[in-house]
Structures are given as structure tokens and as C-alpha cells.
């Protein structure tokens, strides 16, 4: 009999994750605060539920992929919360990016409910999620690794099992600090080239094949040059994550000048009206208007 997994949150990431789990043979149930966003999954044979509690009843795994720590906590607690119907055998896979303070609070919720908990944020955006090529940064009880691996391998190309709960979130913040800084830097390079009267494509072609090259710069650079800001990872999410990075840095006594500037750029992008666009729209916080 196939394992049952409840996916709570069917946004840009949760929807392809649910579909890939379904393709891998799991019995998938899905819940989203706005049910209409989850309804298309029913065409894939996925059961769309009215509440987190309904989705989690009898499930082997509950996977949360929601906007922030508060949204995750709300989906797990209360009369219709998933923890109400989860058993001691259910594993909670917390895949959202929520920050250090929130992951500690969510872990305490799991402990209080007697539920196993794995901190497992993912690296990747819409396309890697659709292609089941996410990178999973899992942390928690090592005895859970063998049970969880089949889930993670259904959605990702690389699975790293780190240390205790919280290490996955900490590494995700480190990785995001680099990704967001690269995005902001590419935005400035493209805008600067245009401001100096150069074809911005020269930036990418000159970068090609050098030690400084990275496929990510081309991905975001081409989007900026073509003004294609179809959301793969929305600016609002980038601003939220950059804020979590600053919080973690302050708590650690780290002076993050670059992270501060990156956060301010994403905040300006939102104020300019591009919060729902891809974070490549940070171009608009830099370019001459």
C-alpha cells in the first residue's frame, strides 16, 4: 500500500511538489487556504481537502510548503489544524523557508504534539520544482532519514542530511544570502550597462565561460534584458527571505552590509509595484526610470 502524504500549501512550489509525489506513487492529499488554487490538482488524481486536519488524517507524512512561519503554525494548530489528527507515526516535513526563530517554535509544536519533525527547506524555484530537481536540506533525527529519503528523492535531485533540527534552515539562509546577492548584482550590472549606452547582452556574453560565470547570472540576466518577470520566485518572497537573513545575522553578531543593501533593493522593488513579479524585477529598483 502506498504511503499517504499531505501537502499543505499549493502555491508556486507546493503544486509541482504535490504532482511529483503523486507521479512517484504516493497517495497525495492537498490543502491550500484558498481552495481554488488547489483544485487543479484533482485532475491529477490528488485529493483536495477542505482543511489541514482532513488532509493529515491517517497520513504517513505531512509536508508544509507555505509562505512563512506564521502560515505554517496556523495550518498545524487549532481545531482544523493538521496536528489535531496526526499520529505519533506521522512525520512532519517542514519545507518552507521560515527562519531560525520560527523553525525552533515549529519544532516545539511538534514535540508538544508527540510528532516526529524534520526541518527540510529546499533550494530551487518553480522550474526545478516542476522537474523534481530541488535540493533538499534536511536536518533532524538521523533515524528518520531512511523513511524520509523516498519522499525527498521524489521531489529533488540532491538530498543533504545535515545535523540536528535547525541546521537545514541555517544552511538555507546561507545559500539564499548568495542567491539573492547574485540576483541584485546582476540587476545592477544590466542596468549599468544600459545606463552607459551598452547592449546589456555584452555583459552576459563576456561573462560566458570565464571563472566568474554562473548559469544563474544568465537565467536572471536574460529575464531582466527581456523584461520577462513571470514569477519563478516572487519579489515578495525574496524580501521576506532577505529579512530572515538579516535577523539571523544580527542574532549571530555578523555585520552583513551586502545583505542589508539587497534587502533594501527588494523592498524598493515591492514599493514600485513588482512584489508579485519574479525577483529579477529588482532591475526596476536600479534602472533609470
Give the domain ranges of the chain: 4-165, 169-285
pTM: 0.96
Pick the CATH number of 4-165 from 3.30.70.270, 3.20.20.70, 3.40.50.720, 1.10.3720.10: 3.40.50.720
Q: Which of the four pLDDT bands, split at 50, 70 and 90, describes residue 78?
A: confident
Q: Which of the four pLDDT bands, split at 50, 70 and 90, describes residue 195?
A: very high
Q: What pLDDT is recorded for position 288?
A: 79
Q: Which of the four pLDDT bands, split at 50, 70 and 90, describes residue 32?
A: very high
CATH classification code of 169-285: 1.10.1040.10
Burial state string for 70-94 with b = 16 or more CB within 10 A and e = fewer than 16: ebbbebbbeeebbbbbbeeebbbbb
Q: Give the model confidence (pLDDT) of 240-285 as tens digits.
A: 999 999 999 999 999 999 999 999 999 999 999 999 999 999 999 9
Mean predicted confidence (pLDDT) in 184-209? 98
Q: Give the model confidence (pLDDT) of 116-174 as tens digits.
A: 999 999 999 999 999 999 999 999 999 999 999 999 999 999 999 999 999 999 999 99
Amino acid at each position: 500500500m502506498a504511503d499517504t502524504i499531505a501537502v499543505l500549501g499549493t502555491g508556486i512550489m507546493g503544486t509541482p511538489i504535490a504532482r511529483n509525489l503523486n507521479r512517484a506513487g504516493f497517495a497525495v492529499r492537498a490543502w491550500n487556504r484558498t481552495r481554488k488554487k488547489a483544485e487543479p490538482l484533482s485532475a491529477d488524481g490528488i485529493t483536495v481537502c477542505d482543511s489541514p486536519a482532513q488532509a493529515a488524517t491517517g497520513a504517513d507524512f505531512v509536508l508544509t510548503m507555505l509562505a512563512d512561519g506564521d502560515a505554517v503554525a496556523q495550518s498545524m494548530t487549532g481545531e482544523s489544524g493538521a496536528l489535531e489528527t496526526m499520529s505519533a507515526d506521522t512525520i512532519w516535513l517542514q519545507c518552507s523557508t521560515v527562519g531560525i526563530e520560527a523553525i525552533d517554535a515549529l519544532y516545539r509544536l511538534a514535540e508538544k504534539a508527540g510528532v516526529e519533525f524534520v526541518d527540510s527547506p529546499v533550494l530551487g524555484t518553480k522550474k526545478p520544482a516542476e522537474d523534481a530537481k530541488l535540493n533538499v536540506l534536511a536536518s533532524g533525527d538521523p533515524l528518520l532519514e531512511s523513511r524520509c529519503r523516498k519522499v525527498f528523492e521524489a521531489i529533488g535531485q540532491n538530498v543533504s542530511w545535515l545535523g540536528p533540527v535547525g541546521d537545514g534552515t541555517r544552511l538555507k539562509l546561507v545559500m539564499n544570502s548568495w542567491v539573492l546577492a547574485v540576483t541584485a548584482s546582476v540587476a545592477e550590472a544590466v542596468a549599468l550597462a544600459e545606463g552607459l549606452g551598452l547592449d546589456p547582452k555584452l555583459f552576459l556574453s563576456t561573462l560566458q565561460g570565464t571563472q566568474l560565470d554562473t548559469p544563474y547570472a544568465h537565467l536572471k540576466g536574460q529575464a531582466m534584458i527581456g523584461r520577462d518577470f513571470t514569477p519563478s520566485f516572487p519579489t515578495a518572497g525574496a524580501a521576506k527571505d532577505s529579512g530572515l537573513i538579516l535577523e539571523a545575522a544580527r542574532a549571530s553578531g555578523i555585520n552583513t552590509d551586502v545583505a542589508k543593501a539587497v534587502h533594501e533593493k527588494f523592498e524598493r522593488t515591492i514599493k514600485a509595484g513588482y512584489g508579485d513579479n519574479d525577483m529579477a524585477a529588482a532591475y526596476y529598483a536600479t534602472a533609470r526610470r
